[in-house]
Amino acid sequence: MAYHRITTTINGATDVVDVPSNMTLLQMLRDKLALTGTKNGCAAGECGACTVLFNGEAVNSCMVLAVEADGADIVTVEGLAHDSQLDPLQELFVSEGAVQCGFCIPGMLISARALLDRRPNPADHDIRDALSGNLCRCTGYVRIIKAVKEAAKRGHAEPA
Amino acid sequence: MLTAHPGLPEFDYIKPKTLAEASAFLAEHSKDARIFVGGTDVFVRMRDGFWKEKYLVDVKGLEGMKSVSFDPRAGLTIGAAVNMNQIAESAEVKAHYPLLAEAAHSVASFQLRSRATIAGNICNASPAGDTIGAGMVFGGSLSVHGVGGFRREPLDGFFLGPGRTQLQAGDVVTAVHLPLPPKGAAGKYIKLGRNNIGDLAIIGVTALGWRDGETPSGYRFRIALASVAPVPLVPVAAEKILAEKPITDAVIAEAANAAMEAATPIDDVRGSARYRKLMVRNLTKQAVAEVWGRIQ
Ligand SMILES: Cc1cc2nc3c(=O)[nH]c(=O)nc-3n(C[C@H](O)[C@H](O)[C@H](O)COP(=O)(O)OP(=O)(O)OC[C@H]3O[C@@H](n4cnc5c(N)ncnc54)[C@H](O)[C@@H]3O)c2cc1C
Ligand code: FES
Ligand code: FES
């Protein structure tokens, strides 16, 4: 099977990686680069635990080939914090008590980040719609949605 | 290493630089190469062992595949690599073909829609494909590049069976075209899923209606049904009733009954054949009544 040398930017740093044709982006992140924040829930596009930003868009990394990330800009949950400063979404997930076992949370955070980037002032139904591909077995979603709402408000309060 | 889920089987990833190269490669390896764009159907079928191709050919990068354009004289052209979110959010699609935006938005989740495409939905030829109905009621067609060059394939007659289409070895769909919508047309897509998100349709009803001075009823309707036959189904008898009889609630009910009669669904994990038939009747009635309410 063919291998491909790809150059990809992950959380701001450029990496050169050799990947086999059949490796998914999720496998590359977890197994080759030890970025295990991104979770493998179903490996079938159903659960959203593997969500990452691919050129700014939320995708299921289990449904993307690693080789397709050649030249792409990838952000995983490890890349949300900057200079030891958590993303407001991360802070609010904690303060709102939106996290239980935590397995779904990296995907939730990335989907929520993608939403706030494209729609800084989302309506409730926008939040539900944006997170509908992220399944959580623990929380019942109420506090997760509240945390995203609060983060959106805070985003508006702060100067850009 | 312990993995809870099987990975993808072995294959070689091929990324042709031109359409000619893509068509030549696909024709030469007709038995063991397959095109993909979003891969949301292909990867699942490969991983589950249904498909065993040696080569997966990524055609996303090819010329003209990534743009959506609307021409007020000719209609809409959707590049084959345009994803469902782009369609659901496109100002031009929402203005002129809101039915298509609605159908695209009904597919799976946001993350999946950043990869899934309308061309892939059509070429996959599942009778459950959510955007196929909109393509059909608008009278859509495909631009196809094959070994002999470009041609057009109308969606009418394109589907031969589940997963089977008019496409030949070497064919690459480059774009989906929708002609201008009829003046004053209104449409509705009703998807019956097991939940509100991310599930294939148990049944789906697409209806488009408009005023038409040439029919006895003064209106014309186009209807397409998902997940009720081996191919996306147009219930011609129902359309005929709505064109010929002055439209009343009773006539809409009669047309909905005709749609139910045309449906030949199967029992499966998502619903029984009987349930599907009854829901075709109920949801066709609902979709047509809503459209009629908007075009009178
Ligand atoms: C979790 C999940 C949920 C889903 N939910 C829905 C849903 O709600 N509704 C729905 O309709 N579908 C759903 N699907 C199915 C799938 O996402 C859609 O059919 C999608 O539109 C396929 O597009 P794609 O670009 O990913 O196709 P691909 O997987 O890339 O290709 C699909 C088929 O079309 C062929 N093909 C693709 N592009 C071309 C081309 N340019 N020329 C010729 N042949 C081509 C491929 O060879 C393959 O046979 C779901 C899938 C998953 C995994
Ligand atoms: S692991 Fe990718 S969607 Fe579940
Ligand atoms: S917190 Fe446990 S799955 Fe969401």
The answer for residues whose C-beta is within 8 angstroms of residue B3's C-beta and 6 or more apart is none
Q: How many CB atoms lie within 10 A of CB B70?
A: 18
Tens of pLDDT, residues B101-131: 999 999 999 999 999 999 999 999 999 999 9
What angle in degrees, to the nearest 10, is found between the helix axes of B273-295 and B249-262? Answer: 140
Residues 89-108 of B with CB under 8 A from A: 108
Domain ranges of chain B: 12-57, 68-178, 187-295
B110–A58 CB contact, under 8 Å: yes
Site to probe by mutation for ligand 2, drawn from A31, A36, A38, A50 as the one with most ligand atoms within 8 Å of Cβ, is: A50
Mean residue pLDDT across chain A = 95
What's the CA dihedral at B228, B230, B231, B233 to 10 degrees?
A: -40
CATH class assigned to B68-178: alpha beta
A9 torsion bin: left (phi>0), alpha (psi -120 to 50), beta (else): beta
Q: Is the pLDDT of residue B1 over 70?
A: no
Per residue in B14-39, is it b (16+ CB within 10 Å) or e — as a string? bbbeebeebbebbeebeeebbbbbbb
User: Which residues, judged by CB distance below 6 Å to any ligand atom, belong to the binding site of ligand 1?
Assistant: A 45-46; B 34-42, 44, 59, 80, 107-108, 112, 115-117, 119-121, 123-124, 128-130, 167, 172-173, 198-200
Amino acid at B236: V
pLDDT of residue B263: 97
Give B-chain residues touching A48 at CB under 8 angstroms.
Answer: 109, 111
Query: Across the beta sheet with B12-14, what order do the strands follow?
Result: B12-14, B55-58, B33-36
Averaged pLDDT score across all residues of chain B: 95
| CATH (residue range A3-77) | 3.10.20.30
Q: What is the pLDDT of residues B208-223, one digit of tens each?
A: 999 999 999 999 999 9
B187-295: CATH architecture:
2-Layer Sandwich (3.30)
When pLDDT is cut at 50, 70 and 90, the band that residue A83 belongs to is: confident
Is it the case that residue B2 has pLDDT exceeding 90?
no
Sign of the dihedral defined by the CA atoms of residues B66, B70, B71, B76, in that order: positive
Residues with CB under 6 A from ligand 2: A 40-43, 45-50, 60, 62
Going by C-alpha positions, the residue among B137, B140, B128 that lies closest to residue B232 is B128
The whole-angstrom separation of Cα A26 and Cα A52 is 9
Q: Is the pLDDT of residue B196 over 70?
A: no
What is the pLDDT, as a whole number, of residue A160? 44
ipTM: 0.94
pLDDT digits (tens, 9 = 90+) for A9-54: 999 999 999 999 999 999 999 999 999 999 999 999 999 999 999 9
Domain boundaries, chain A: 3-77, 88-153
- B26-32 own/partner pairs: CB under 8 Å, 24+ apart: B26/B57, B26/B169, B26/B170, B26/B171, B26/B172, B27/B146, B27/B147, B27/B169, B27/B170, B29/B54, B29/B55, B30/B169, B30/B170
Q: How confident is the model at residue B198 (pLDDT cuts 50, 70, 90)?
A: low
pLDDT value at residue A128: 95
- pLDDT > 70 fraction of chain A, expressed in percent and rounded: 97
User: If pLDDT is split at 50, 70 and 90, which confidence band does A159 have?
Assistant: very low
CA nearest ligand 2 atom 3, residue:
A45
Report pLDDT digits (tens) over B221-230: 999 999 999 9
Same CATH fold, A88-153 and A3-77?
no
Tokens encoding A150: 């609060």
pLDDT of residue A49: 98
Model confidence over B10-40: pLDDT tens digits? 999 999 999 999 999 999 999 999 999 999 9
Q: What are the pLDDT digits (tens) for A116-134?
A: 999 999 999 999 999 999 9
Question: What CATH topology corresponds to A88-153?
Answer: DNA polymerase; domain 1 (1.10.150)
Per cent of chain B over pLDDT 90 is: 92
Percent of chain A beyond pLDDT 90? 93
Question: Across the interface, which of A4, A44, A58 has its CB nearest the CB of B114?
Answer: A58
Cβ separation of A21 and B11 shorter than 8 Å? yes
pLDDT tier for residue B197 given thresholds of 50, 70 and 90: low
CATH code for the part of the protein at B12-57? 3.30.43
